[in-house]
Structure 1
Amino acid sequence: MSLRAVLFDMDGTLVDTEGLWWEACVTVAAELGLELDDSDSADVFGRLVEHVAAHLVRRSRTGTGRPAQEAVAVRLADEFAGRVAGGVTPLPGALRLLDDLGAAGVPIALVSASPRRVVDIVLRTVGADRFRLVVAAEDTERGKPRPDPYLKAAAGLGAEPFRCVAVEDSPTGIAAAGAAGCRVIAVPPGGTASTTSPDGAAPYGVLTVDSLEQVDLPMLRMLATGQISVG
Structure 2
Amino acid sequence: MTLQAVLFDLNGTIANTDGLHQPIVEQLLLAQNLRLEAGEYRALCPDRSDRACLSALLARRGRSTTADGLDGLLAAKSAALDEALRQQPAPALYPDVAALLARLDAAGLAVGVVAGMALRDAQQVLAHAGLSQAFAAIASAEEAGDPYTLALARLSERSAGSSHLIPSRCLAIEATEIGIAAAHRAGLPVAAVTHRHPLHMLQRQADWAIDRLGELELERLQQAFAQARAGEC
TM over 0.5: yes
Give 2:153's aligned residue: 155
Give 1:187's aligned residue: 193
Q: Give the conservation status (yes or no) of the 8 Å contact 1:109–1:134.
A: yes
- Higher mean alpha-carbon deviation, 37-46 vs 115-124, is at 37-46
Q: CA deviation at 1:190?
A: 5.4
Give 1:120's aligned residue: 123
| 1:81-134, Cα deviation, whole Å (9 max, x unpaired) | 433442212211001111111122111111112212222222222422221222
- 1:16-27 → structure 2 map (5 Å cutoff): 16-27=16-27
Q: CA deviation at 1:11?
A: 0.9
Q: CA deviation at 1:223?
A: 4.5
Instruction: Provide runs of 4+ in structure 1 moved above 4 Å.
Output: 37-42, 193-196
Sequence identity percentage = 25
Give 2:133's aligned residue: 129
In structure 2, the CA distance between the partners of 1:189 and 1:204, relative to structure 1 (3 Å rule), is closer
Amino acid of the structure 1 residue aligned with 2:187: G
Q: CA deviation at 1:141?
A: 1.3
Structure 1 unaligned spans of 5+: 143-147, 197-202
> Which of 103, 106, 129 pairs up with 1:103?
106
Q: CA deviation at 1:195?
A: 5.4
Q: CA deviation at 1:38?
A: 4.4
Q: CA deviation at 1:220?
A: 3.3
Structure 2 unaligned spans of 5+: 157-163, 229-233
RMSD of Structure 2 on Structure 1 (CA): 2.9
Give 1:213's aligned residue: 214
Q: Give the conservation status (yes or no) of the 8 Å contact 1:28–1:76.
A: yes
The 3-state SS of whatever aligns with 1:186 is strand
Give 2:231's aligned residue: none
- 1:1-231 → structure 2 map (5 Å cutoff): 2-32=2-32, 33-38=34-39, 41=42, 43-61=44-62, 68-85=69-86, 86=88, 87-124=90-127, 125-138=129-142, 140-142=143-145, 148-156=146-154, 157=156, 158-189=164-195, 192=198, 194=201, 204-225=205-226
Provide the rounded CA distance (Å) in 1 between the counterparts of 2:153 and 2:16.
28
In structure 2, the CA distance between the partners of 1:29 and 1:170, relative to structure 1 (3 Å rule), is farther
The 3-state SS of whatever aligns with 1:154 is helix
Q: Give the conservation status (yes or no) of the 8 Å contact 1:20–1:80.
A: yes
In structure 2, the CA distance between the partners of 1:2 and 1:43, relative to structure 1 (3 Å rule), is same
Amino acid of the structure 2 residue aligned with 1:57: L
The 3-state SS of whatever aligns with 1:128 is coil
Give 2:159's aligned residue: none
Q: Give the conservation status (yes or no) of the 8 Å contact 2:192–2:206.
A: no
- Higher mean alpha-carbon deviation, 2-11 vs 129-138, is at 129-138
Q: Give the conservation status (yes or no) of the 8 Å contact 1:178–1:204.
A: no
What TM-score, normalized to structure 1? 0.78
Provide the rounded CA distance (Å) in 2 between the counterparts of 1:186 and 1:40.
22
Amino acid of the structure 2 residue aligned with 1:182: L
In structure 2, the CA distance between the partners of 1:223 and 1:112, relative to structure 1 (3 Å rule), is farther
The 3-state SS of whatever aligns with 1:129 is coil
